[in-house]
């Protein structure tokens, strides 16, 4: 007896993957030092032109890692209390490059206006602190997990290409 394959609607998966980050005001960060020491953290963000921007203090480990390696991984993960199953939380993981945006750059002014709009007057206080830096976190590729046996690679220009990793699902246990 042959298993019936369920066709996956890639357009629907694309919409799910792009909608999930929109539910958050902060992103989870994974960085690594130039010596290979990992660090997990988070930062509030704004999104502009398909890139994420974070305004972060050089006192934070992740800021030093951004500056030294120019890389980060970003995670958006479904809240535990909203997930159908704890082992199958919906999540988007993005491999990113990080680039500091200089304070005298027009892009800096534009993005900081977005931060003020999103997070209020608190941002005016933070902007006065010279140890804070604006970084563009540009996604290069990623993955979306929509549940058991529903993992997708995200690639291409503006990450618009999505493909199912394994249309056969998980392998069964050894007999």
What pLDDT tens digit does each residue of the chain (175 aa) get?
444 556 788 899 999 999 999 999 999 999 999 999 999 999 999 999 999 999 999 999 999 999 999 999 999 999 999 989 999 999 999 999 999 999 999 999 999 999 999 999 899 999 999 999 999 999 999 999 999 889 999 999 889 999 998 755 455 555 5
Asked whether the CA dihedral 69, 30, 22, 93 is positive or negative, the reply is positive
Rg of the Cα trace of the chain?
Answer: 19
Q: What is the pLDDT of residue 7?
A: 79
How far apart (Å, rounded) are the C-alpha atoms in residues 146 and 40? Answer: 23
Q: What is the pLDDT of residue 6?
A: 65
Q: What is the pLDDT of residue 66?
A: 96
Question: Is residue 71 a contact partner of residue 98, using CB atoms and an 8 Å limit?
Answer: yes
Q: What is the pLDDT of residue 1?
A: 45
Q: What is the pLDDT of residue 49?
A: 93
Q: What is the pLDDT of residue 167?
A: 57
| Residue 98 token pair | 């990080």
| Residue 46 token pair | 């704004």
Going along the chain from its start, the domains and CATH numbers come out as 10-164 (2.30.110.10)
How far apart (Å, rounded) are the C-alpha atoms in residues 98 and 27? Answer: 14
Q: Return the closest-CA partner of residue 44 out of 138, 115, 149.
A: 115
> What are the φ and ψ backbone dihedral angles of 78, each rounded to 5 degrees?
-55, 140
Dihedral in degrees, nearest 10, Cα atoms 110, 112, 116, 121: -130
Neighbouring-strand partners of residue 170: none
Q: Return the closest-CA partner of residue 74 out of 93, 102, 98, 48.
A: 93
């Amino acid at each position: 007896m042959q298993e019936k394959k369920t066709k996956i609607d890639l357009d629907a998966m694309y919409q799910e993957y792009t909608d999930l980050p929109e539910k958050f005001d902060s992103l989870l960060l994974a960085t690594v030092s130039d010596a290979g020491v990992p660090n997990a953290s988070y930062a509030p963000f704004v999104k502009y032109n398909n890139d994420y921007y974070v305004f972060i203090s050089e006192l934070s480990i992740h800021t030093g890692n951004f500056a030294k390696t120019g890389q980060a991984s970003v995670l958006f993960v479904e809240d535990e209390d909203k997930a159908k199953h704890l082992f199958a939380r919906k999540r988007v993981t993005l491999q990113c490059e990080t680039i500091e945006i200089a304070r005298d750059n027009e892009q800096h002014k534009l993005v900081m206006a977005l931060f003020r709009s999103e997070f209020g007057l608190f941002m005016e206080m933070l902007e006065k602190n010279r140890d804070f830096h604006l970084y563009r976190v540009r996604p290069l590729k990623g993955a979306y997990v929509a549940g058991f046996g529903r993992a997708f690679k995200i690639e291409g220009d503006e990450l618009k290409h999505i493909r199912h990793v394994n249309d056969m699902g998980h392998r069964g246990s050894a007999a």
